[in-house]
Structures are given as C-alpha cells and as structure tokens.
Structure 1
Amino acid sequence: MNTNENAARAFTDLLEISRTGAKGYREAAEGVSNPQLKSELSRLSQQRAQFVAELEQQAQQLGVSAHDSTIESVATDAAAAVHRGWINIKAAVTGHDDAAILGECETGDAVALRAYETALKAQGLPQQAQAVIQKQHSEVLEAKNWITQQKGMSR
C-alpha cells in the first residue's frame, strides 16, 4: 500500500469517527438530565465537528481524497452506526439514564482512540498531519477519561 493510500484510509476513518462522535455527543447531550453533563457533551460534539474541519483541511493539503471507501473504513462505518444506535436505544430504554448514556459515550471514544492509534501508525504521513492526529488523539483520550470519571459519579 502506498503512502497516499495509507493517508486516505487514515483520514477516511478519522473523518467518519469524528462525524459520528459529533452526532453521538449531540444526541447524548439531548438525552442527559444533568445540566453540567449536557453542557460538556455539547462542547464535545462541537469539538468533534472541529476535528472534522481540521482533518478535511489536512487531507486537502495532502491531495488526499478522504472520501475513498476501503474495507477498513467500511468496518469503521459499521462500528460507528452500531454505536449511534446504542446511544438511541439505551436512552430510550433507560429513560435517559445519565450513567448509561455516559457509558455509550465512553465506548464511542474507545473506538475513536483505536482509530487514532491506527492512523498514527500509518507510514508516510507528513509531520504536520501526524501532529494534528496526535493532538486530536490526546483530546479524545482526555474526553474519555472525563466521561469515565463522570460515569462513576453518576451511579
């Protein structure tokens, strides 16, 4: 696989994960009852939307079409769709139980972290693109840790 294919796959996966994260966090914010959680989950939704813009810009600078479909990105799409569905199902079944919703956000961020770690291992990504991916990875990890802490306090 050449450098451009590695970059395209990395960006396609991260874009899909970030789009899904923005939507998932928006839905989670709508589902929780705690105003502090609602505010932070909304902020995380906006953060993931910003990630999309940053990733699209990097892909464009590299001349990479980040919309190419690969087997790996199709698998990511499926995982993302499952995650979105679970947020909706859990919220409906649990009557908007904050801890359950946070648990689904935690799961979504765990999937995102794996995608970022895979992208960081991709060969041939320019240093600037790696820096953006590393920064986003750190922010996703920070969000996941915060959610884990909040989930423990919500029980």
Structure 2
Amino acid sequence: MANETIARALTDILNLNRTSVKGYQEAAEEVKNADTKAKLSQFSQQRAGFVSDLEGYAKQYGIDAHDTNTVESLATDAAAAVHRGWINIKSAITGQSDSAVLEAAETGEASALKAYETVLSSNDVPAGAKTVFQQQHDAILQAKNWLAMNKAK
C-alpha cells in the first residue's frame, strides 16, 4: 500500500510541477514588467528543479514517473491546463495586465498547495518523501505570497 501511495503521490506532484513549469513560462511571456518577468521565469526554473528532484526520488522507489498517469494526476493535469488557458484568456481580456496574470498564477499556486497538503496528510508516504514534499510546499507558499503581494502593484 505504501509503495502504491508514494507512486501515486510522486506521479501526481510531478505532473503538477511539469504543468507549473509551462504555466510560469507562459506567464513570464505575458507580463510587461522586466522584474516580474524575471521572477516568473525563476519560479518556472524552480519548478523544473522540483521535477528533477522528484524524478530522482521516483527512481529510488522504482517508479517510472515519466509515462504513468493516475486518475488523480489526469484530473490535476486537466485542472492545470485549464489554469494555463485561464492565464491566456484573462490576459487577452485585460489587455495583458500584469496583475491579472499574477492573480491567475496565484490561483494556480493555491491549487498546487492543496495537492501537496493532500500528499502530506497521508500516513502512507515515507518520512523522507514527506520532507521533500514539505520543502517544495513551503517554496510554493512563498511563491504564492510573492504573487499576492505583487499583483496589487
């Protein structure tokens, strides 16, 4: 059971982060402010690092997280794809307002936090994996807080 749980958790969180990499790249392309663009690119690179870290962890458990999709991960990926689409729609409606893009990204981070909190609340996830998930959760929370503070500027 624990192996199945960690496989599902890793796959779901990996897919979420892969989508976040793309979402932040798209958001960085949409904003006009150079500092904001740089920060969003930094968040994209951070998520790519999360993917790399989690793929390494998946290998330790003998999990092929590249091609595996769970029902939950498909739903997560679909929700994230909708979120990316929302960034595009919202920026088109608002004339590519930086604050609108940041608001949409903040919404995406709120969804990511919920996914991490679900994994962190599981008793079947090994302590070592929980540590990695907790560190990434904390970084996502910091990103969400940055987005919240900067969308009003």
Aligned to 2:136: 136
Tell me if structure 1 keeps the 8 A contact 2:12–2:70.
no
Instruction: Measure, in 1, the Cα distance between the counterparts of 2:68 and 2:32.
Output: 39
> Could you tell me the TM-score, scaled by structure 1's length?
0.93
Q: Secondary structure at the match of 1:12?
A: helix
Equivalent residue letter for 1:112: A
Number of paired residues?
Answer: 152
| In structure 2, C-alpha distance between the alignment counterparts of 1:110 and 1:13, rounded to whole Å | 16
- Partner secondary structure for residue 26 of structure 2: helix
Structure 2: gaps of 5 or more residues: none
Number of the residue aligned with 1:28: 27
CA RMSD across the alignment: 1.2
Deviation at 1:4, TM superposition (A): 1.4
- Helix, strand or coil for the counterpart of 1:152? coil
- Are residue 107 (structure 1) and residue 129 (structure 2) matched? no
CA contact (8 A) 1:6 1:123 kept: no
TM superposition shift of 1:49: 0.5
> Which residues of structure 1 form unaligned runs of 5+?
none
- Segments of 4+ moved more than 4 angstroms: none
Partner deviation per Cα, 1:105-136 (whole Å, 9 max, x = no partner): 00110010011111112233222211111000
Give the match for residue 11 of structure 1: 10
CA contact (8 A) 1:22 1:45 kept: yes
- Identical positions, percent: 55
